[in-house]
């Protein structure tokens, strides 16, 4: 099968992992050119002047940015698995949990990441603690909900896009914010992560766990380029 388009992203980036997983589940092939955060080629910036990744362009020149949007678009192209929901109610639940993952879990986790890596001004421990409290509130709710799900998935008895998005969010938070103590506390959340990322069809994109052992609460250099 010929590639359906080009994806610009970094292999360590959770959103890129989600998109590649969606493509693999639906039997879609993507071209993956090399990309550097701080050395963007003119060919790329002429197509995507905002400069962020991941981004996607198909063979007709149709372009998208924002990871969840690309993942949703590719979910609708495939026929092998139903990632968006089998009816209106299930689709609404998929959308609900995507928004919850991105706004209630990822946002405070990302705010902490930005502070730790120096992207949001001077380090402020009070704000960091507030963001950590918001993150733990969201994970406590998620943990209670997952206790009602015998399948281990968020919406159905098989994987949906919401499960992949949540896995990407949890990976992002676990690089700095969720250490061993939090993994023990939110056991069902990390069981969900293991179930989704351990799927033989997608596990090659997730690689080995990059989880921190302890919550990082001090500034440190950004590890990627």
Q: Band of the pLDDT at 224, cuts 50, 70, 90?
A: low
Give backbone dihedrals phi and psi of 148, rounded to 5 degrees, phi first: -95, 0
**Averaged pLDDT for residues 141-157:** 98
Domains of the chain listed by start with CATH number: 5-77 (3.40.30.10), 88-206 (1.20.1050.10)
Nearby residues of 203 by Cβ (< 8 Å), 6 or more positions away: 197
User: Does the pLDDT at position 105 exceed 70?
Assistant: yes
Query: CA–CA separation, 225 vs 172, rounded Å?
Result: 16
Query: CA–CA separation, 215 vs 160, rounded Å?
Result: 29
Whether residue 54 is preceded by a cis peptide bond, meaning omega within 30 degrees of 0, is yes
Which pTM value belongs to this model? 0.93
Q: List, for residues 180-196, the tens digit of each pLDDT value.
A: 999 999 999 999 999 99
């Amino acid at each position: 099968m010929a590639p359906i388009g080009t994806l610009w992203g970094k292999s360590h980036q959770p959103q890129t992992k989600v998109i590649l997983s969606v493509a693999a589940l639906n039997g879609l092939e993507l071209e993956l050119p090399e990309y550097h955060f701080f050395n963007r080629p003119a060919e790329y910036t002429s197509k995507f002047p905002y400069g962020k990744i991941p981004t996607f362009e198909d063979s007709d020149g149709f372009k998208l940015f924002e990871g969840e949007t690309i993942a949703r678009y590719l979910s609708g192209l495939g026929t092998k698995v139903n990632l968006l929901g089998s009816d209106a109610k299930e689709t609404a639940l998929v959308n609900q949990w995507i928004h919850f993952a991105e706004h209630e879990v990822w946002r405070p986790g990302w705010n902490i990441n930005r502070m730790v890596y120096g992207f949001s001004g001077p380090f402020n421990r009070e704000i960091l603690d507030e963001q950590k409290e918001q993150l733990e509130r969201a994970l406590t709710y998620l943990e209670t909900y997952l206790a009602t799900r015998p399948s281990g998935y968020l919406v159905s008895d098989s994987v949906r896009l919401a499960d992949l998005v949540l896995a990407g969010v949890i990976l992002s938070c676990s690089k700095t914010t969720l250490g061993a103590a939090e993994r023990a506390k939110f056991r069902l959340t990390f069981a969900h992560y293991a179930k989704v990322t351990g799927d033989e069809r997608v596990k090659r994109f997730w690689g080995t766990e990059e989880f921190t052992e302890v919550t990082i609460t001090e500034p440190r250099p950004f590890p990627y380029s």
